[in-house]
């Protein structure tokens, strides 16, 4: 799994002009899943993300986690994170897992985040989505599961 983590002041996702997910302070996650990903990857990354110390404390140092600030997550499925543009000008997405494999793992990942006491809002898997956000900092990280790090 590959996840782009963005610290956010506010964010929302719309489908066909309708807001389907919205958060205030927290994280926006763009979640990519490849063929070899398993529940183990989802568990590792859900724990890693909710405990990442990327929010500022009173001394303006990144010492606080999402749990510490009681923040929320907006999680968006993003198969294009496994796009390969090394040959030609049109990316290939053969490294991205097929929807029948990716969707259950994406839902499991979000469930694991929720089980840690985090409010999780999502987009709609496979839909054309528009995401609006205020990136705080800006702070943006890319995290891969251990096997692909």
β-strand pairing of 18-23 with 2-15: antiparallel
Give 95's contacts (C-beta < 8 A, 6+ positions apart): 34, 35, 82, 83, 84
Note if 79 is an active site residue: yes
Is 80 one of the annotated active-site residues of the chain? yes
- Is residue 25 a contact partner of residue 69, using CB atoms and an 8 Å limit? yes
Q: 38, 80, 93, 94: which is the annotated catalytic residue?
A: 80
CA 82, CA 69: separation in Å to the nearest integer?
31
State the catalytic residue, choosing from 78, 109, 121, 122.
Answer: 78
Task: Clarify whether 121 is annotated catalytic.
Answer: no
Point out the catalytic residue in the list 6, 34, 55, 79: 79
Q: Which residues are catalytic?
A: 78-80
């Amino acid at each position: 799994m590959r996840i782009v983590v963005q610290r956010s002041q506010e964010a929302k996702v719309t489908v066909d002009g309708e807001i389907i997910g919205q958060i205030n302070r927290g994280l926006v996650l763009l979640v990519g899943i490849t063929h070899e990903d398993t529940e183990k990857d989802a568990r590792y990354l859900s724990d890693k993300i909710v405990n990442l110390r990327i929010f500022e404390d009173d001394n303006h140092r990144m010492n606080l986690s999402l749990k510490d600030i009681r923040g929320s997550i907006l999680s968006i499925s993003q198969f294009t994170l496994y796009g390969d543009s090394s040959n030609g000008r049109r990316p290939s997405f053969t490294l991205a897992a097929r929807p029948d494999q990716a969707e259950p793992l994406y839902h499991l990942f979000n469930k694991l985040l929720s089980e840690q006491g985090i409010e999780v809002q999502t987009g709609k898997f496979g839909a054309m989505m528009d995401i609006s956000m205020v990136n705080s900092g800006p702070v943006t990280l890319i995290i891969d599961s251990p096997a692909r790090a």
